[in-house]
A and B are shown apart, each in its own frame.
Chain A
């Protein structure tokens, strides 16, 4: 997909003006937060499990090479194939080779953010192979020629009238007067159409939520069952996963599963948690004849050993964006690449470069809700700050911002000058604020006042008030 992260500000402005999108975003604010909270409240061990999950991933990352080796050995022992891909282009080529080897004409796909990251669909289409998304949300946005706007609810920006229009346009062999007004009828139609596709497909591609070193298993976690049909019915199952998906053992996966579903959808457990290990066995009446895993790096190993290592604990639950006021306001597309919200603000600059993704870590109010709800306890705000520092070090922010920060730094290092300036400036501003005590315009503050008023300050500075407060306290004590 074309990266539009550098145009984040314009994207955000369009999103704010898009009434339909704003209505759809209400579903994020309304649904996810309450459901998660209920599920969390019902499990007294939730916080202990978060610690456990964090420790498991930390241990795994510190021994990533060894666990990858152990995992590879087990996949091979179960009759599967492991392929290593350093870049997106490598991964695409490996998928195509597998498709060509099996003379594939159509592939069905389970939901996978990695295939978005490597832009697999466009590539396969260009090579004459038809990719079919089977997750309902992914199917809808594939019909619309769009990309996911949320990592677990890809079509959260679309309303049901739009889905109806898309189905009528694409499923034009069906009766034009059929009723498609409710989500139920829309789902039924998609179910019928996709059912046939699973049987026709030659290759099924899924992602993985976990790769288990102990057994060589890949795990997918879904609610619809499309991922299962995708990997069960075609002759070949291809798993595309990035290297940090590894966990050591089945028990470790179990620990993290408990926090994953609760954080994502507020379920205790998703409907289908499926562990797949190698191809069909002797005597098995169903299942794929070939099982391939493509392990993608694409920049992750370079995050190890840096201040961004902890981001590799992410299990893509979506809780950080579900609780983010910025995401609530602008949705996922404005972020301009595959990963939106707070996790995207940290991950995107690491994967596509700070020069392209630099706006994203700035799109934060530092309210800290993302870190508070992250099941893996990833310090997202801290890492956004690291990116801001890097952006500053590399001189990537605009000149006015750098100039302003320079002035601020000069005052901050000279308390007498700061005192003098504020004790002169604040009363003046206070007086100029007028009866409403607000500014709708101020020189040099256009970036703020264009969208909201600036409250006029009180007539004393913060430091003056603090001193008075101290004096009162002293008086009360003596």
Chain B
């Protein structure tokens, strides 16, 4: 018997008393095809403006910094202001994201824009999020050439652009968006849900920012 069969036989033997196989199969298929929503915290169930404000507030609570800008073409200015305020080199790493690419970066003549995945030598990376989650101040990023995952983890500073219209109240709604965008049961290779900058409490339970990922996360909300 293969190890798979042995484990399955053991499981089925133990479950034998628990209802007919047919009924179980139906229940499982139903859940997989129509995932129930469960208990959704009231915290994020707000109108558009209040939801975006909650998102900003929750992101700040987990020590991300947040600014709001009116439109995509204002993002480069917000980025260069951040770099200046933090005394960072005037250079960023971005992927192929259409929205990021079409921004007027050249207005800030001295800003170097490097493209493609991070090689570990970037001080600052910029990504465009797929969505935001208001209840926790979380951004959701999908892997791929548009926003390579290395940009989320290797630079010291991670700037995340998120559109206000993509901010949902709760995690389940973002999972719903992912299903819609990639197809039922399909996923990007990686979906990163990021809530603030990297941290560790492993030495005497003292929380320190900047463990293995970015030391700082800066969120730019558009709209």
List residues of chain A with CB under 8 Å of any chain B CB. 24, 27-28, 30-32, 43-45, 48-49, 51-52, 56, 59, 62-68, 70, 74, 77-78, 84-86, 90, 134-137, 140, 153-156, 158-160, 163, 183-184, 186-188, 191, 194-195, 199, 213-217, 223-226, 228-229, 232-233, 243, 248-252, 254-255, 257-258, 265, 267-281, 283-287, 295, 297, 301-302, 304-306
Q: Which residues of A contact B152 (CB under 8 A)?
A: 228
Q: Which residues of B from 127 to 178 have beta carbons under 8 Å from A?
A: 135-136, 138, 143-145, 148-150, 152-154, 170-172, 175, 178
Q: Establish whether residues B204 and A160, one from each chain, have CB atoms under 8 Å apart when the complex forms.
A: yes
CB distance from A225 to the nearest CB of B (A): 3
Question: B197: which A residues are within 8 A, CB to CB?
Answer: 271
Are A255 and B200 in touch, CB under 8 angstroms? Answer: no
Residues A305 and B202 in contact in the complex (CB < 8 Å), given A62-B24, A199-B120, A271-B194: no
What's the least CB distance linking A56 to chain B, in Å? 8
| 14 A-B pairs with C-beta separation under 8 A | A31-B201, A52-B38, A62-B15, A70-B32, A136-B202, A153-B202, A187-B210, A250-B35, A267-B195, A273-B195, A275-B190, A276-B189, A287-B190, A305-B16
Q: How far is the CA of A155 from the CA of B206 in the complex (A)?
A: 12
Number of chain B residues close to chain A: CB under 8 A? 83
List residues of chain A with CB within 8 A of the CB of B58.
Answer: 268
With A251-B36, A254-B172 as contacts: A270 and B195 at CB distance below 8 Å:
yes
Q: How far is the CB of B69 from chain A (nearest CB, A)?
A: 25
Q: Is the CB of B32 within 8 A of A232?
A: no
Contact status B189-A279, CB under 8 Å: yes
Q: Is B86 among interface residues, defined by CB-CB distance under 8 A?
A: no
Contact B171 A274 (CB under 8 A): no
B195 / chain A contacts, CB cutoff of 8 Å: 267-273
B164-223 with Cβ < 8 A to chain A: 170-172, 175, 178-179, 185-206, 208, 210-214
CB distance from B147 to the nearest CB of A (A): 10
B191 and A251 contact, CB distance less than 8 A: no
- A84-B3, A274-B191, A274-B193 as given contacts; A255 in contact with B38, CB under 8 Å: yes
Q: Which residues of A contact B198 (CB under 8 A)?
A: 223-225, 271-272
Would you call B208 and A187 a contact (CB within 8 A)? yes
Set of chain A residues within 8 Å of B42, measured between Cβ atoms: 44-45
B98 interfacial contact with A, CB 8 Å: no
Say if the beta carbon of B117 comes within 8 Å of chain A: yes
B170: which A residues are within 8 A, CB to CB? 254
| Interface membership of B11, Cβ < 8 A | yes
List the B side residues contacting A265 at CB < 8 Å. Answer: 201
Selected contact of A250 from candidates B175, B196, B213, CB within 8 Å: B175
Question: How distant is B150 from chain A, measured CB to nearest CB, in Å?
Answer: 5
Q: In the bound complex, how far is the Cα of B68 from the Cα of A185, in angstroms?
A: 34
Say yes or no: B7 contacts A155, CB within 8 Å.
no
Let me know if B206 and A183 touch, CB within 8 A. yes
**A191-B212, A297-B7, A301-B10 known; A223 and B200 CB under 8 Å?**
yes
Nearest CB on B from A247, distance (A): 10
Complex Cα distance, B186 from A277, in Å, reads 9
Take A66-B24, A249-B35, A273-B193 as given contacts and tell me if A43 and B116 are in contact as well, using a CB distance cutoff of 8 Å. Answer: no
Across the interface, do A232 and B153 meet the contact criterion of CB distance under 8 Å? yes
Separation of A115 and B149 alpha carbons in the complex (Å): 26
Contact A86 B6 (CB under 8 A): yes
Q: By the criterion CB–CB under 8 Å, are A305 and B189 in contact?
A: no
Write the chain B residue with the least CB distance to A187. B208
A184 close to B171 (CB less than 8 A)? no
Q: Smallest Cβ distance from B38 to chain A, in angstroms?
A: 4
Beyond contacts A228-B192, A284-B145: 5 other A-B pairs, Cβ-Cβ < 8 A, are A184-B208, A186-B203, A216-B185, A225-B198, A285-B145
Residues of B within 8 A of A279 (CB): 189
Please determine whether B10 and A229 come into contact, CB atoms closer than 8 angstroms. no
- Residues of B within 8 Å of A273, CB to CB, are 138, 192-193, 195
Smallest beta-carbon distance A147→chain B, Å:
15
Which residues of A are found within 8 Å of B178, using beta-carbon distances? 250
- B2: Cβ under 8 A from any A Cβ: yes
A74, closest chain B residue (CB): B185
